[in-house]
Amino acid sequence: MRSVGLSVGRRTLPALLFTALLAGCASAPGGGQEGGSTSSSDAGAPTLGTPEWQAWVDRKIGSGDGQGHGPDVGSSEWCSTIDFRLFGGASGLPPCSPLWNQRVHHMLTGE
């Protein structure tokens, strides 16, 4: 007899847990502020989503090819490059959206 149960793939479970964590943070005081512009307690991380934050992310991850070529920081091409380098292109969020900014920040700082 086959057991019947909920089957969750290896990639799906972490994504579900992360989504639940984000939902909890958004309902917490000070969480989920408009435009993803929450400040960071990481000493080197500027306010999420700002050009300064994007430059900080680019310094941490790098979007260029090592020869001085790469997308303009903050552009949609840049967001897609960062998404690919951090998440293999499978973040499940629209690149450069407020939730995507939070997920990138979490990956870089653990916050």
Q: Which two tokens stand for residue 79?
A: 């967001």
Between helices 12-27 and 98-109, what is the axis angle to 10°? 110
The 10s digit of each residue's pLDDT in 38-93 is 444 456 679 999 999 999 999 999 998 888 889 999 999 999 999 999 999 999 99
The helices-and-strands tally (H runs, E runs) of the chain is: 4, 0
Q: Please compute the mean of the pLDDT values over residues 14-40 and round it to a whole number.
A: 44
